[in-house]
């Protein structure tokens, strides 16, 4: 199972910490995962978490503002 899929599964189980860790690994391996993650309803349980928001900003111009 890919890190991204594991992030989705754990988010659905409300295992926030584990989900963010898995999503971080998925993004480290493939930055394009961020685009998919932004619109994926499976990740809704982690989208309000500050770590998720920070992770989504990494690499964006707004991250450095």
Reported as a single tens digit per residue, the pLDDT across 22-57 is: 999 999 999 899 999 999 999 999 999 999 999 998
pLDDT at 62 over 60: no
Can you tell me the distance from the alpha carbon of 49 to that of 17, in angstroms, rounded to the nearest whole number?
10
Beta strands in 1-65 (DSSP E): none
Phi (first) and psi of residue 2, to 5 degrees: -75, 160
Is 8 contained in some domain? yes
Tokens at residue 52, please?
Answer: 């998720």
Phi (first) and psi of residue 32, to 5 degrees: -70, -15
pLDDT at residue 65, as a whole number: 43
Is 26 contained in some domain? yes
Is 9 contained in some domain? yes
Higher per-residue confidence, 45 vs 61: 45
Is 65 contained in some domain? no
The pTM score is 0.87
Can you tell me the distance from the alpha carbon of 18 to that of 52, in angstroms, rounded to the nearest whole number?
12
Domain count across the chain: 1
Can you tell me the distance from the alpha carbon of 36 to that of 58, in angstroms, rounded to the nearest whole number?
15
Higher per-residue confidence, 65 vs 17: 17
């Amino acid at each position: 199972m890919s890190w991204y899929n594991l992030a989705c599964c754990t988010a659905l189980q409300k295992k926030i910490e584990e989900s963010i860790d898995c999503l971080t690994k998925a993004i480290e391996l493939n930055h394009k995962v961020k685009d998919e993650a932004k619109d994926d309803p499976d990740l809704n349980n982690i989208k309000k978490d500050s770590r998720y928001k920070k992770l989504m900003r990494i690499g964006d111009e707004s991250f450095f503002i």
